[in-house]
Structures are given as structure tokens and as C-alpha cells.
Amino acid sequence: MDRIRIRGGKPLSGTIAISGAKNAALPLMATALLSDGPLTLTNAPDLADVTTMAGLLAQHGLDVQRDKAARTITMSGAASNLEAPYDLVRKMRASVLVLGPLVARFGRARVSLPGGCAIGTRPVDLHLKALEQMGAEIEITAGYIEARAPQGLKGARIIFPQVSVGATENILMAATLAEGTTEIVNAAREPEITDLAACLMRMGARIEGIGTDRLVVEGVKTLGSAVHPIIPDRIEAGTYACAAAITGGQVLLGGARLDHLGAVVRILRDAGVDVAEAHGGLKVSRLNGLRGTDVMTEPFPGFATDMQAQFMALMCVAEGAAMITETIFENRFMHVPELSRMGARINFHGASAIVRGVPKLSGAPVMATDLRASVSLILAGLAAEGETIVNRVYHLDRGYERVEAKLAAVGADIERLPG
């Protein structure tokens, strides 16, 4: 298995092009199940998760054409197989996003339950309850969600008791082909939801309230073809902002959008990082020391849970203490013991961690159990004295396109060691 070797201490300088967003690409690909297409997505990132989703759609019977050089994915045809198998769903939880589109269009689907993962139990009860409210009959048998709506889905008033990105996406997609009006109350407002709604509108869907926590969808009979550009990855941008900050460098994040970063910008600024809109993206620099800054994760526009591990790496070398509270996932501190192995001073109890900054981290072999934890160790490695080896790179490849090439191009001493 590949590993990443980093020799720390080099301030980053230059431009990093931000790729299309993983978390936008995956639901956007699932929308291809709602029509015969073709649906062409541009600015598609070259990520393991995108490959998994392409494989899932192909096994459903869609024609999936991917041009990596042109960064496009074109999907067409109607699903002939309505089952999403365990082997693919367990690799990538976002596979469950095929459920809403399949039931809406074909009146039934059989989708493996995703199960838990390193960061939490991550149930899909909100997705299922909302589909039931829209008239679907749902049974769980042999680890599979069996959903049936022989008369089609019906519009309903869905009030989510908790903000869920995936449930909002599944129900938004399903509602586009349901009979009548669906109102989604307490909808997630992440930029990826806005991007999904924009693509669905291009395909002919009728949606109001885009960008708010109340989406109203008027069902239509069919959806058509579209060409849609995927938004830049705000989490990749935030990650490289932390890379610039932790090394005391200055980078331009090509294509990154300030309005997509939500509270991440304010918190980075509070911590002593300069983030400014610049021609072609965002300029991030850190000329003085980092300040310990408290943060709590929240749904958008709050501070993203997908940025928590990276921000913690930054706080490991800040002056003073930072209290980091994780409110979205119950087990998203897997990076703490590994950062501690690199000399970080972190205590955590329950949902909060106290990070007491140290002047220097020291390189070490480390291992991570999820995507953002892995990249937080790369960030720590960029700032550490000596050599850091990050094992289990497959987590990184799910969500970061050529992370070592992008960082090396702005001056990091980093390379992939083929396993």
C-alpha cells in the first residue's frame, strides 16, 4: 500500500489549483439516474470516490464515459438493475444517494445499508423516514434497504429533526419526480446542496428556496439532459489554506470561493491567518504567529466538521490553547493519538479537545483511519522537524487529487512511496 513521506519545515509558496468538489460530484452523479440524460459534469475531480460512484452507476446499467484529461463525466441511459450491492456501498457511504433517484424514477430499489464508519455510526434513518412520508414502503432485509413505491412517490412536508446533508440530497432528488409538492424543512444549506439544486434545475426540475433551509420542489414528469460544472472543493481549499498557514507560507488557492468557506474564513482569521479574495481565487498567508482559537463544528455556514482535523493540526503549533468541539460526528477525533505521537499536546473528553500549542512538532510514522484525519497528519508533517510517513494513503485518495504533487509544486518536500 502506498505511503506519503514528508520532510517538514518548508514554507509553501505559489498557486494550488482547487479541484471540483468530491461532496458535490457524488450526488450530482446520482442525479443521472433521474433521466435518460445525457448528463455531463465538467470540472470533475480525479478521485477514488468518483471512480467508485462511476462503477456503481455503470452496474446499475448507465453508460458512463469519463474523460480524465478533459475533467468530464457523461452519463446516459436508464438503470436496468435497481440494486446497489454491499461491496460498493461499504467502500463509499455516499452510494446511498442512489436510493432516492431510483425509487422516484422506477418505483423500487434495493440498496445495501451503508453501516457505520470510523467517524461515527452514521445512520440513514432520516433518509428512510422521509421516503416513507413520500409514500415509499421500506423494509430492511439481509442488510439491504428494500424500497417500493409502485404508484410513484407523492409530495409531502418533510421536517428534518436534524440537519443532514445526505438526507436533504436524497429527498431533493426524489422530490423532483414525485407527484405534487414536496417541502423540505430544516434542509441542509451546504454549497454542495445548492450545486445539486442548480444541476437539477438545468435538467428541468422546479425548486424554490435554493440556498435556504426550506426547499420547495414541484414534481415534474420527466427530467432531461444538462451540462453542469461542479463547484470547487471548499474542503480541499480550506485544507491547503491550513497548509499555507502551518508552514508560514503564502499560496493562491486557484478557483476557491470565499462564500463557500462559511465560518472557516473567520476562524482562520481569528487564528492569525490572512485570507483575502484575489484575482483567480483566494490568497492565504501567515506572516506572524498562530493564535490558539476555539472552534465548534456546525452545519453550513458554521465551521465544517470536514475541516476540524486540519484546524486541529494548525492549533498544535499555535500560541496558547484552543478548545475544539465536534458536534456532528461522535467519533471524529481519531487523529488525536497520531498528532500526539508527533509531539502535540491534546486532551480530549467526549466531544471536546483541548489543544495546547507547542513550538515544534517532530516527524513520526503515523496512521489514520479516515480521510480528513489523514490529511491533518500531512499538515502536521509539513510543519514538523524531520520525517513523517503517513500510512494508509487510500483514505487520502478518496478525497484529495494528487495531494503530494499539488504540495510539492508549491515547495513542500513530499513524495508518494509506492507500496
Ligand X SMILES: C=C(OP(=O)(O)O)C(=O)O
Residues at the site binding ligand X, with contacts judged by CB under 6 A: 23, 93-94, 306, 371-372, 399
Cα(176)–Cα(174) distance, rounded to whole angstroms? 6
Least distance to ligand X from the beta carbon of 182, Å? 24
* Amino acid in the structure at residue 172: L
End-to-end CA distance of the chain: give it in Å, rounded. 4
Rank residues 89 and 136 by Cβ distance to ligand X and give the closer one: 89
The verdict on whether residue 328 carries a ligand-binding annotation is yes
x-marked contacts with ligand UD1 along 109-148 as a string, rule CB under 6 A: -----------x-xxxxxx---------------------
Q: What share of the chain is helix, strand, coil (3-state, %, to 5)?
A: 35, 30, 35
Least distance to ligand UD1 from the beta carbon of 4, Å? 21
Active site residues: 117
Least distance to ligand X from the beta carbon of 55, Å? 15
Rank residues 43 and 164 by Cβ distance to ligand X and give the closer one: 164
Rank residues 60 and 127 by Cβ distance to ligand UD1 and give the closer one: 127
Report phi then psi at 392, rounded to 5: 65, 55
Cβ burial of 354 (10 Å; 0-12, 13-18, 19+) is middle
Q: How far is CA 65 from the centre of its chain?
A: 23
Torsion of CA 146, 151, 153, 156, to 10 degrees: -120
Torsion of CA 344, 350, 352, 357, to 10 degrees: -10
Residue indicated by cell numbers 478525497:
399
Q: Which does 399 bind (CB under 5 to 8 A by kind): ligand X, ligand UD1, none?
A: ligand X
Subset of 311-330 contacting ligand UD1 (CB under 6 A)? 328-329
The verdict on whether residue 22 carries a ligand-binding annotation is yes
Least distance to ligand UD1 from the beta carbon of 370, Å? 10
Q: Which does 195 bind (CB under 5 to 8 A by kind): ligand UD1, ligand X, none?
A: none
Contact residue for ligand UD1 among 65, 80, 81, 162 (CB under 6 A): 162
Q: Which does 108 bind (CB under 5 to 8 A by kind): ligand X, ligand UD1, none?
A: none
Cα(356)–Cα(32) distance, rounded to whole angstroms? 47
Q: Which does 372 bind (CB under 5 to 8 A by kind): ligand UD1, ligand X, none?
A: ligand X
DSSP state for residue 303 in the 8-state scheme: B
Under the rule (CB under 6 A), what is the footprint of ligand UD1? 23, 26, 93-94, 120, 122-127, 162, 164-167, 305-306, 328-329
